[in-house]
Amino acid sequence: MGLHANIGLALKSRSLTAKDKVDQYATKLVQELNLPGLAVTAGALNDDGVFQSWSAGYGYANTEAQLPVTVDTSFWIASITKTILAVAVMRAVETDIL
């Protein structure tokens, strides 16, 4: 089972908070995929049914200077936004939204 599938299993565990589970998963992802850095924003309903969100940085924004990733780190994503938009449009077409 791939790492991306493990997050669903991890979130089913009741022993940790959702934030702790995402934190553990992101840390594992950075280590196992040898990523220089990663920023994550996630959210979940708390026990009172209130949606809470949080953000965190993992690894380094600059490995040479050992500058950590923070919630304010900007990542260069180049032309990937075109692909993301194309997939979103096609999914909307497939589900008759468009």
Residue 13 within any structural domain of the chain: yes
Say if residue 50's pLDDT is above 80.
yes
pLDDT value, residue 6: 45
What is the distance of C-alpha 51 from the center of its chain? 17
Residue 92 within any structural domain of the chain: no
Residue at token pair 């050992």 = 66
Residues spanned by the domain of 35: 3-73
The residues, any chain, with a CB within 8 Å of residue 7's CB and separated by 6 or more, are 21, 22, 25
Band of residue 14 on the pLDDT scale cut at 50, 70, 90: low
Say if residue 24's pLDDT is above 90.
yes
What pLDDT digit, counting tens, does each position of 30-46 carry? 999 999 999 998 888 87
pLDDT value, residue 38: 92
Specify the number of domains making up the chain: 1
Residue 86 within any structural domain of the chain: no
CA–CA dist 69, 93 (Å, integer): 37
Query: Quick one: average pLDDT of 86-92?
Result: 93
Strands of 51-62's sheet, edge to edge?
Answer: 37-45, 51-62, 67-68
Say if residue 66's pLDDT is above 50.
yes
